[in-house]
Homo-oligomer: A and B are copies of this chain.
Amino acid sequence: MGLKVYGLPLSTNTVRVLALLKEKDLDYELVPVDLPTGAHKQPSFLALNPFGQIPVLEDGDIVLFDSRGINRYIASKYKETGPDLLWSAGGPAESAAVEVWLSLESQQFAPPIEELVFEALIKPIIGQITDPTAVEKHAEKLGKVLDVYEAHLAKNKYLAGREFTLADLNHMPYAYYLMKTSKADLVTCRPHVLAWWEDISARPAWKKTAASIPL
């Protein structure tokens, strides 16, 4: 039984999982979930994920949800397939750095960038009107977070250090969407963040992932 991802290639959280599967060069089937018709709130989907959200991963009999939990599982179970994105060959310092930056992605980076991307990019797509004041507010918060990233990336090629890891990868879907907004300068005006983004987004696996995002 193969890997099956329930989700949509426009969904950042789905893309987080697809990007990892592409890095690992693992075969998978993408099962579209029709959000506009509420397919994610139907009993058949709620039986997979009672929170009614995409993505969901099926790995044989095992069902997982929440993109970060899914990615951790894939990175660990399929450690030997493709690059080891948990940097298991490193010592305690490398493991610590991976843990810190995985956690910072979800706690510091994600909250403001999710709000900013929703306001600036998603609202127009779903027929709502962008609030420029909200965009500025979220951009200011994200800018402060990226100031820390800039100082860190001035001394480290990747977030956890010398190696590209899951900590970098988990940032990519929202960073990609941010670059499509009027606030791309949050990245381009920070030279080390920009160099990091240019490096990781040039990875062959990410190029394939990005090519499938309908935006």
Using CB atoms and an 8 Å cutoff, list the residues of chain A in contact with chain B: 50-51, 59, 61-70, 72-73, 76-77, 92-93, 95-96, 99-104, 106-108, 145, 148, 151-152
Q: Which residues of B contact A63 (CB under 8 A)?
A: 96
Are B51 and A103 touching (Cβ within 8 A)?
A: no
Are A73 and B51 touching (Cβ within 8 A)?
A: no
Q: Which residues of B contact A145 (CB under 8 A)?
A: 51
What are some 8 contacts across the A-B interface (CB < 8 A)?
A50-B152, A51-B104, A66-B103, A69-B101, A69-B104, A72-B103, A76-B99, A77-B92
> Contacts A66-B107, A68-B107, A107-B66; is A73 near B50 (CB within 8 Å)?
no
Chain A interface SS verdict (over half) = helix
Q: Which residues of B contact A152 (CB under 8 A)?
A: 50
Are B99 and A72 touching (Cβ within 8 A)?
A: yes
The residue from B61, B69, B100, B106 contacting A64, defined by CB atoms under 8 A apart: B100
A156 to chain B, nearest CB (A): 13
> Contacts A51-B108, A77-B95, A93-B62; is A69 near B148 (CB within 8 Å)?
no
Q: Which residues of B contact A108 (CB under 8 A)?
A: 51, 66
Q: Which residues of B contact A104 (CB under 8 A)?
A: 51, 66, 69
> Contacts A77-B95, A95-B76, A95-B77; is A100 near B65 (CB within 8 Å)?
yes
Minimum CB distance partner of A93 in chain B: B62
A65 to chain B, nearest CB (A): 6
Are A73 and B93 touching (Cβ within 8 A)?
A: no
Q: Which residues of B contact A61 (CB under 8 A)?
A: 93
